[in-house]
Structure 1
Amino acid sequence: MPRITQAQKERNRDEIVRAASEGFKRRGVDGVGIKDLMNTAGMTNGGFYNHFASKEDLVLEVYRKGFAESLAAVDAIRAEHADGAQSALDAVIDTYLTAAHRDHPEAGCPSAALPVDAGRHGAAPQGAYRDGLEGYFANLTELLVQRAQETGTELAPTDARQQAVTMFTQMIGAIVVSRAVAEADGPLADEVLTASRHQLERR
């Protein structure tokens, strides 16, 4: 039986991470077993351990990769709105607080899809989640400081950090609450997102 190439091995690993990311974010970490995951990825159950020592290692990779992709999207937004911090802030908020993000957790950021899982599974997942949060906090803090400079407003870095933490945790909460009622009351779910966008963009 021929051995697989390194390139194929990397593709297989990527496929496992993709399947896990979608499954975990839609059904929770405990809602997806290794057997189901590998079936979704189109591989045998035993092949999992060729790539990961444990399910926890895979969970950490899902957090790391998911936040890396989300923060890359933030970087792209900032590059597109390099003319002003306010427009960049509004674009980040508008991109995050959407019905599409709410309705498709499998394609969205782990920040709103996996916070409860991080809280339940101990220090390692919480550390990966924290690292992702810090990436968002740093981006928003920089934008708030930049906006203050552009408008001639005084804003201490500590105050900017506090505002950034408040802003992003409100964004996470809005998505979580909107998802919690989306099927029972679509208009209310939309109202949560719209109200949050408006309030955040007025700050």
Structure 2
Amino acid sequence: MKVSKAQTAENRQGILDAAARLYRERGLSGVGVADITRDAGLTHGGLYRHFASKDALVREACALAFDWSIPALEGSEGDTPLASRVASYLSPVHRDRPGEGCPVAALAVDAARAGGGLSEVFAQGIERNIDRFARVIEGLAPADSAPSAQGRARAMAMLATMVGGLVLARATADGRPALSDEILATLREQLAAPSPGA
């Protein structure tokens, strides 16, 4: 039975969506092709009709994961857009659902070990995140000019702190839940405070 172009595209997207989520949940080495295709509701053999190799799938799935951006926290009345995003990123919900969140906090070490093409995917994604976050910090719309060097530097420092904090919170969540919560709360408070001279 021949599959339509629309169904083929839908199957391919289903594989990418499943892979992007599963890789963030389990790491690159913790997910096999069978896991991805099963999650996507397809057969194992079908994957290679859509992707030249597992490495090609990994690169595309990680690139798709970078479409995720820090959502503004719902019901954060009175918070600035920056404080709302910091609170959302450093929340217990984000900590506990890596498959739905930031690919950097979930996969940066895997990407560093893989190098090559995957490192480039991460470099592009991180660059976009720095730009988007610097725009939030400076209150710029997408059509506005590029963020300032100072806004970009602040975005880098904040994102690095947030990613590191989330990684620490995830690493301690099972062993010492109170410490994990303390890490998130402390960083939310520190990062949401106005910058000096603001």
Shared fold by TM > 0.5?
Answer: yes
Q: Work out the number of aligned pairs and report it.
A: 186
Let me know the Cα RMSD of the aligned residues. Answer: 2.3
User: Quick one: which amino acid aligns to residue 32 of structure 1?
Assistant: V
Quote the Cα distance in structure 1 between the aligned partners of 2:150 and 2:157.
Answer: 11
> Cα deviation per residue 1:90-148 (whole Å; 9 max; x = unaligned)?
1111111111111111111212111111111112111111111112211222233349x
The residue aligned with 1:133 is 126
> Cα deviation per residue 1:160-182 (whole Å; 9 max; x = unaligned)?
21111000011101110000010
More helix by share: 1
Residue number among 149, 160, 165 corresponding to 2:156 in the alignment: 165
The residue aligned with 2:175 is 184
How do residues 59-78 of structure 1 correspond to structure 2 at under 5 angstroms?
Answer: 59-68=58-67, 70-71=68-69, 74=71, 77=72
Structure 1 residue 145 and structure 2 residue 132: aligned?
A: no
| Secondary structure of 1:138 counterpart | helix
Residue number among 82, 85, 88 corresponding to 1:89 in the alignment: 82
Residue number among 117, 122, 128 corresponding to 2:110 in the alignment: 117
Gaps of 5+ in 2: 141-146
User: Quick one: which amino acid aligns to residue 59 of structure 2?
Assistant: L
Stretch of structure 1 that moved more, 35-44 or 175-184: 35-44
- Cα offset, 1:37, TM superposition: 2.1
User: Quick one: which amino acid aligns to residue 107 of structure 1?
Assistant: E
| TM-score when normalising by structure 2 | 0.85
| Secondary structure of 1:114 counterpart | helix
- Cα offset, 1:198, TM superposition: 0.5
Structure 1 residue 32 and structure 2 residue 26: aligned?
A: no
> Cα deviation per residue 1:12-40 (whole Å; 9 max; x = unaligned)?
11211122122211111111121232223
Structure 1 residue 7 and structure 2 residue 6: aligned?
A: yes
Quote the Cα distance in structure 1 between the aligned partners of 2:131 and 2:21.
Answer: 26
